[in-house]
Amino acid sequence: MAMRQTPLTCSGHTRPVVDLAFSGITPYGYFLISACKDGKPMLRQGDTGDWIGTFLGHKGAVWGATLNKEATKAATAAADFTAKVWDAVTGDEVLTLAHKHIVKSVNFTEDSTCLLTGGNDKVLRIYDLGKPEAEPLEIAGHTSAIKKALWCNNDQQILSAADDRTVRLWDKNTKEAVKTLAFDASVSSMEYIPDGEILVITYGRTIAFYNANSLDLIKAVDAPASIHSASLHPEKDFFVAGGDDFKLYKYDYTTKEEMESYKGHFGPIHCVRFSPDGELYASGSEDGTLRLWQTAVGKTYGLWKCVLPEELSSENSEVLYCPPAEIKA
Amino acid sequence: MSGMKTPVSVLRLPRGPEPNSRGFDPTSPRFIALCPTTLPSSSSSSGSADEEEQRLRAELRERFLRTLLLMTGKRVRFDMHEHVRVHARFGASDIDVLNLQVCDLETPLGVQREALLRSQDVIACSFEV
């Protein structure tokens, strides 16, 4: 029986949600962090969207947020010219790393010992979290603000996307650019999938997939509207994308065909990511909300419950909430 | 056709943030497992150190509350963020010390008869005892 997707709305932010990231799968489940222009990044339980805590301390919009694999540490990048490292269990601020301009992106290495930052001063910085007083390693080269910087290839290389319309692959040790990709439009987002070495890049209305080592193009798909973010399913059978028209699109990765589109957000979508188990994806929007969407609509998972037709009218039903039928515009 | 599909049911909606707390529940299984406890544990070896800490905390809290009482009705100097320094007559604070009620607040724009100062904006207050 075909079912209609019920997105779960996570409220709490008071301004646009501009970035989000999942942790890996831990003994306590997996977690989700959201970056918001209200300056208060939040940690949530990944499979339910339940709020766990808010990281308080930044004095400006938070542009980037990330968790380490174990969800024990969080890092945030903000308009107050700092990147901060947090204890993701207690919510305490652990480290403040001063920068010379707005910081846009933060990324931990696999072992969480180093933090990569990038922002409007166009320089990539690598901080050794064991020696926070030491000067960071700096990699210069981009001619415009850096939007996103990610570790790749076992943390030996770095991928960065900037407003200079390039994506560059750097060697961490030589600090040289190994490869550069140039685009006609600004790159809106980047996602790195270590398993399979795939890089997902969005620009204009295009979602493009590259080999992360060679930066060779694998395939590209054009969406009906300008896309701000896309994410590839861990099993690489689907990818999802969202952007200017407030809708979330789901595509078959193999055939590149659009499978579904979902309305729900009341503003452009800024970020979208699949959960580490691929069972759901989260989207962050200009409307200030995060929404969780099921990959397999109708499956019992997290807060979603598969209810058979006879159970819906049964008095013994444990289902407390059934969304009303929406009026189609 | 899609208008006839049944929407997926949910058990409940995701829980939102608590209004007065930053969260990170110290009684959650993850917190207990991953964080060293600062509250008294059942082992006797840490018992006396925790009792001492509790005693000191209680003493500091009492001193703070008595200071607030002493400040009542007095002309107080408030040093705030962004190099702001104002004088006012202190009235009272709310139960969570989130806001401070003052009167005759001297500001560059004139004297405000009644005002509320946000505690988080205040760095220090001083007054003549």
Which phi and psi angles does A45 have, rounded to 5°? Answer: -70, 130
B16 touches chain A (CB under 8 A): yes
Measured in angstroms, the CA of B51 and the nearest CA of chain A are apart by 23
pLDDT in tens, A103-131: 999 999 999 999 999 999 999 999 999 99
pLDDT-derived band at A316 (thresholds 50, 70, 90) equals very low
pLDDT-derived band at A327 (thresholds 50, 70, 90) equals very low
pLDDT-derived band at A323 (thresholds 50, 70, 90) equals low
pLDDT in tens, A243-292: 999 999 999 999 999 999 999 999 999 999 999 999 999 999 999 999 99
- How far apart, in Å, do the first and last CA atoms of chain B sit? 77
Q: Of A225-239, A299-313, B42-56, which one has max mean pLDDT?
A: A225-239
Closest partner residue to B22 among A56, A318, A322, by Cβ?
Answer: A56
Residue A317 has pLDDT above 50, yes or no: no
Q: What pLDDT sits at residue B1?
A: 46
Alpha helices (H) along chain A: 309-312
Closest chain A residue to B3, measured at CA: A328
Q: Which residues pair with B10 in a beta bridge?
A: A304, A321
Mean pLDDT by 10 residues, chain B (129 residues): 76 93 94 73 60 90 93 96 94 90 95 94 93
Measured in angstroms, the CA of B15 and the nearest CA of chain A are apart by 5
pLDDT-derived band at A321 (thresholds 50, 70, 90) equals low
DSSP A256: -
Q: What pLDDT sits at residue A163?
A: 96
Two tokens, residue B85: 């320094």
Q: What pLDDT sits at residue B50?
A: 80
| B23:A44 CB<8 A | no
**Centroid of chain to Cα A2:** 29
In this complex, how many residue pairs, one in chain A and one in chain B, have their CB atoms less than 8 Å apart? 115
User: Could you give the percent of chain A with pLDDT greater than 70?
Assistant: 93
pLDDT in tens, A124-181: 999 999 998 999 999 999 999 999 999 999 999 999 999 999 999 999 999 999 999 9
| A8:B14 CB<8 A | yes
d(CA A119, CA A101): 7
Interface of A with B in 6-65 (CB under 8 A): 6, 8-12, 28, 42-44, 48-56
Closest partner residue to A3 among B6, B13, B22, by Cβ?
Answer: B6
Interface of B with A in 21-60 (CB under 8 A): 22-26, 28-31, 33-35
pLDDT (mean) for A88-117? 97
In this prediction the pTM is 0.78
Phi-psi group of A201: left, alpha or beta (phi > 0 → left; psi -120 to 50 → alpha; rest → beta): beta
pLDDT (mean) for A26-45? 97
pLDDT-derived band at A56 (thresholds 50, 70, 90) equals very high
Q: What pLDDT sits at residue A329?
A: 38
Q: What pLDDT sits at residue A315?
A: 47
| A325:B3 CB<8 A | yes
pLDDT (mean) for A193-207? 96
| B30:A319 CB<8 A | no
| A51:B2 CB<8 A | no
Closest partner residue to A323 among B7, B15, B34, by Cβ?
Answer: B7
B2 touches chain A (CB under 8 A): yes
Which residues in chain B are contacts of A320 at CB distance < 8 A?
A: 11-12
d(CA A98, CA A135): 11
Q: What is the ipTM of this complex?
A: 0.86
Nearest one of A84, A59, A81, A64 to A73, comparing CA atoms: A84
Measured in angstroms, the CA of A259 and the nearest CA of chain B are apart by 14
Closest partner residue to B22 among A3, A50, A53, by Cβ?
Answer: A53
State the CB neighbour count (10 A cutoff) for residue A129: 17
Owner of token pair 């997290």: A302
| B8:A11 CB<8 A | no
Closest partner residue to A6 among B7, B12, B33, by Cβ?
Answer: B7
User: Could you give the percent of chain A with pLDDT greater than 90?
Assistant: 91
The helix or strand, by DSSP H or E, that contains position A233, with its residue range, turns out to be none
d(CA A305, CA B12): 10
Measured in angstroms, the CA of A284 and the nearest CA of chain B are apart by 15
Q: What pLDDT sits at residue B43?
A: 47
